[in-house]
Amino acid sequence: MRKLGATAATGTVLALALAAWTHQPPRPEQGGGTISGKVKFAGTKPAMPKIDMTEEPKCKAKYQGVPTEETVVVNPNGTLANVFVYVKSGLPASYTAPAPSGDVTLDQDGCRYHPHVLGILVGQKLAIKNSDGILHNIKAKGVKNRPFNISQPTNMVSERTFTAPEVMVPLECNVHGWMHAWLAVLPHPFSGVSGADGSFTLKGLPPGTYTIEAWHEKYGTQTASVTVAGSETKTADFSFAGK
Amino acid sequence: MTKRAFACVVVLITAASTPLTAHLSPLTLQDTTRGKAVYVKWCAGCHGDGGAGDGPSAAHMLPRPRNFTGAIYKIRSTASGQLPTDADLMRAIDEGLPGSAMPAWKGRLSDGERRDVAAYIKTFSSFFADTSQHVAALKFSSAPGGGTDPSALKEGRRFYEDSIHCNKCHGDEGRGDGPSAPTLKDDAGFPIYAADLHQNWRFRGGGTVEDIYRRLRTGLDGTPMPSFSDLIEQKFLTDEQLWRLAQYVRSLSPPGAPEVRDVIHAPQIAGTVPVSPDDSVWARVSRYWFPLVGQVIRKARWFAPAVSGVWVQAVYDSKTVALRVSWDDRTQSPDTAWLKFEQRILETVAADDSAPPLQAEPWPDQLAVQFPRHIPDGMERPYFLMGSETDPVYQWRWTSRPRKSVAGLARSIERFDTLPGALAGEASFDHGEWRLVFTRALATPDTANEVQLEPGRAIPMAFFAWDGSSGEHGSRMAVSTWYFLALDRPTPPGVFISPVLAMVVTLGLGLVVVRRAQRRGAARAGV
């Protein structure tokens, strides 16, 4: 995904020049608007259950203290991480996504998934990596996509692709019942995940009015309507409340 | 419970499997209108009118009936996540899914009906109509030479425990008791047991080494059981090594599915009977398999018995009989590691129509052996389901905690009165297996209440088992029908009319009576 953004950016200059010259509107992925924002967290931060990794000393050794589940990760600055923000609707019907460049990697390290929430394009390769060198199985429980459940008993990489847009495809390991990740399969690259500072950025949007959805595994979804024109940057902040 | 639900349960109890047939043409040519009629009549009670696996009796079952709307199937010849082929669907319908409530339909429905209904269940999901779906059977190799010789099995075992670690779920000896087992759920979130690999006759996709190899290649979609095909592509192991693994798994079960015989023959031994379940004598005595089913006659009914059967052996000496009962049980209950699993079982399996789900408690494991108080001369025996007020039964009961054995009289499921005097019972638990030996004098002073075990007679006997960690206690248990114990007399040569022959004649009639009694019991219980 990051790579995609970079490609889009390098293409921008050329595209703008071309557009000026031909008086054609720029293609969506060239130039375009930006939506960015922060995901705030209000209320009390729930205590995350500790994960007992006694059965897996190799994983246990990767942590200083006792690792916890990642269902709700509140950042030090009071924002919420692992919120998937994406364009839910509003793209012109004629929009076609650029061909995916590069793979998306999901790593199993310390008996947790990295990242915990991720996006992928339809048809793009998901490289599932086992850095732990112990038995994991990876089960994708899509509904619009066919599921799969494969095993990785050692350090290795397996690849899979997805055929239909779906938010979310739950991923899990059954050997380690605490391991969960969430994969969003989208027909376009306009998505981001709130990081360690709670911010996200969607770049390269064609002009239009969009429904932006923010998805969190525990707190559900919120939407915002945002209109972007040209290459302006608009802000859309979200706020989830702990219950 | 609805009539339909009960019919389903009866089908489940009596389900028998039949061999696989070849299928002629693609199912798309079949008549889905006729298929729907078959479906509504025979399948909807479990699978639901809309195919969502939510028919009226579904809530009593574990595993739940398949939800056809997701088109996720366990038994396929295709790669993980792919749709099944038509032949895969036909096989499931023809042969059923052993170890689950799904009956075999071959012989009950005509070829045409089975094909029509298969075509109909495909209409519940749009995936089957989606031409971009890739439905191709994997190319399966055939078993390599060297089959089941020790070195082949040893190699298989190595993959099982050292390099793939199947034991994480299936346990070190394969009885489904691995450290991850109590956390397992299926895709619908229902608890699921890691298969007991010592009971291949209960494998959903069949118990031959070929079946096992195929399941390892394809996985069982919708369950935690993954596919291992990628490992061959990635050269983690060779196809031949995967076969070795399948052969190892196959070697854990007996060579043939256990045959249910009605009479346990106990030889007389010189010296004294073994009191320990791990005594070497037992290795030389034949064992008999008795299947158990859920207690579905009296409330609270139980449709998901955790113990599928018991292996029984018996020997006697001049004074004492020793009865060894062994059975597979993932847990040495009570086991706190399984409390959450037990809670999920109790929430999933509706015990009765109205009862709210129970709270998980640390119940012990239990086993009961039942006899009439007197060996009957004729065919009548007490009611098999723990006797009645007027005709109690004599039982030996064992619990895992406190670890003790008692003898007593049962007058119903609810009423058990201990008799004075201890009963000798010794049990050991090893990797998902209980082994228990009861010993008792052949003759006892209390001839009114305690059966007198006379050599040469057909002594009626029945079994009950409870797995505490599956929430079983009281009427939530697994039950058998009446069988017979025969303490065989060493027959001097030349004696042709043996007591055993006489007994077999009795038995033929006896079974009829048991059936009748059961039916009467069922009628009494108002089913």
Q: What is the pLDDT of residues B343-376, one digit of tens each?
A: 999 999 886 756 677 889 999 999 999 999 999 9
Distance CA A157, CA A105 (A): 9
Question: pLDDT at position B379, please?
Answer: 81
Q: Do A55 and B80 touch (CB under 8 A)?
A: no
**B499 φ, ψ to 5°?**
-60, -30
Per-residue pLDDT for chain A (243 aa), expressed as one digit of tens each? 333 333 433 333 333 333 333 333 334 445 799 999 999 999 999 999 999 999 999 999 999 999 999 999 999 999 999 999 999 999 998 899 998 889 999 999 999 999 999 999 999 999 999 999 999 999 999 999 999 999 999 999 999 999 999 999 999 999 999 999 999 999 999 999 999 999 999 999 999 999 999 999 999 999 999 999 999 999 999 999 987
Residue A175 in contact with partner chain B when CB distance is under 8 A? yes
Judge contact between B212 and B199, C-beta under 8 A.
no
Considering only CA atoms, which of B314, B316, B325, B260 is closest in space to residue B286? B314
Question: Are B236 and A153 inside 8 Å of each other by CB?
Answer: yes
Tell me the torsion sign for CA atoms B75, B76, B77, B82.
Answer: negative
Give the minimum alpha-carbon distance from A170 to chain B in angstroms, rounded to a whole number. Answer: 10
Which amino acid is it at A200? F
Closest CA of chain B from A1, distance in Å: 25
* ipTM here: 0.86
Q: Does B69 touch chain A (CB under 8 A)?
A: no
Chain A contact present for B225, CB below 8 A? yes
What's the gap in Å between the CA of B57 and the closest CA on chain A?
A: 25
Cβ contacts of A141 on chain B, cutoff 8 Å:
187
d(CA B370, CA B513): 17
> What are the residues whose beta carbons fall under 8 Å from the beta carbon of B222, sequence distance 6 or more?
A147, B70, B72, B73, B74, B186, B187, B188
State how beta strands A33-42 and A233-235 pair: parallel
Instruction: Please tell me the predicted confidence (pLDDT) of residue A9.
Output: 39
pLDDT at B19: 35
Q: Does B72 touch chain A (CB under 8 A)?
A: yes
Flag if B226 and A149 touch (Cβ within 8 Å).
Answer: yes
**pLDDT recorded at residue A242:** 85
The structure tokens 């990242």 sit at A115
- Whole-angstrom CA distances from B238 to B141, B162, B231 are 11, 16, 8
Q: Select the residue of A146, A149, A175 nearest B168 (Cβ to Cβ).
A: A175
Asked if B171 has any chain A CB less than 8 Å from its own CB, the reply is: no
Instruction: Retrieve residue A157's tokens.
Output: 């990489």
Q: What is the pTM of this model?
A: 0.89
The conformational region for residue B99 under phi > 0 = left, psi -120 to 50 = alpha, else beta, is left
**Whether B168 contacts chain A with CB within 8 A:** yes
Which pLDDT does position A8 carry in this prediction?
A: 39
Q: Which whole-number Å values give the CA distances from A85 to A82, A220, A223, B389, in the listed order?
A: 9, 12, 9, 69
Q: Under CATH, what is the fold of the domain A31-241?
A: Immunoglobulin-like (2.60.40)
Q: How far away is chain B from the Cα of A176, in angstroms, using its nearest Cα?
A: 7
Closest residue in A to B160 (Cα) is: A153
Taking 70 as the pLDDT cut, the residues of chain B under it are: 1-26, 28-29, 351, 353-355, 491-527
**What integer pLDDT is reported at residue B133 of this predicted model?**
87
Which pLDDT belongs to residue B30?
Answer: 78
Q: Is B230 on the interface with A (CB under 8 A)?
A: yes
Best probe of the B interface among A56, A108, A151, by most B CBs < 10 A, is: A151
Q: Is B187 on the interface with A (CB under 8 A)?
A: yes
CA distance A37 to A35: 7
Q: Mutation target for A interface from B180, B233, B341: give the one with most A CBs within 10 A.
A: B180
Query: Nearest-CA distance from B33 to chain A in Å?
Result: 27
Three-state DSSP class for residue A84: strand
Closest CA to B517 of B405, B408, B382: B382
Please answer whether residues A135 and B104 qualify as being in contact, where contact means their C-beta atoms are separated by less than 8 angstroms: no
Residue A139 to residue B72, Cβ atoms within 8 A: no
Q: How many Cβ atoms sit within 10 Å of the Cβ of residue B242? A: 24
Q: Cα separation of B398 and B14, whole Å? A: 29
B169 and A174 within 8 Å at the Cβ level: the answer is yes
Which residues on B lie below 8 Å from A151 (Cβ)?
Answer: 164, 226-228, 230-231
